[in-house]
Amino acid sequence: VHMPWVVDGDLHQPNASTSYDTWFKTGGRGVDTAWSYFNQAAVGKALHSQKYVTRSEIFLQTKIECMGSVAATLQAGQHDLDLLEEDFVDLMLIHAPWQGWGEPYSNCSKGPAGKAARQATWRGMEALQRAGKVRSIGVSNFNADELEEVLEVATIPPAVNQIGICVGFIDNATIAFSRAHNITTQAYSPLGGSPWGGSPVMRLPELQPIAKAHNKSAAQV
């Protein structure tokens, strides 16, 4: 799951004002960023300026778009590293199995038409790992069918599939497929309200009496 020690970027706003320095000072060790969060320069600056922990204590993951070719994937991965001012990241994900949120050379179609592009992107991810640019590689927002497409060509299987999971919004088929193929499921939007579905958990009427009975908030439940 998306653990409390991970600070996540916001999809819609550049996060230059976010206090990443405070995150590390108060015990945070995980950072989940992406090209389309528009915060990588700020994340990189905080990583290098903070004095609280060494780089080896920080788990840094980032995401690139579905690029559609090996060459474009290598270019996008290096661009992420350049923005972060890092030689490597601990985990890099393909952000989505379709064309993403504005990266100019993203080139994947949704559904079966994008299969070849997703497979080519995965080959590029493997090349990034073999080059030492990333320690592990994975995907995000992939369903079971799209994971199967990747596994058809993978010599390095995805380590992670990051998907939206919250109370009332769970893709059990994809989670089961991932478990069967030793792919770790990592949750985003555990409190709901993601762009892809799920009501905000804090407002679910089913959770209110449970929270009250245990003197907790709905988010804690």
* Residues belonging to the active site: 37
Beta bridge partners of 184: 160
Sheet with 184-188, side-by-side order of all strands? 6-8, 30-32, 59-64, 89-94, 134-140, 160-164, 184-188
CA torsion sign, 177 to 178 to 179 to 185?
Answer: negative
Q: Which residues contact 38 (CB under 8 A, 6 or more apart)?
A: 9, 13, 14, 15
Rounded to the nearest 5 degrees, what angle is found at the Cα of 192, between the Cα atoms of 190 and 195?
115
Three-class secondary structure of residue 221 per DSSP: coil
Provide the 3-class DSSP secondary structure of residue 11: coil
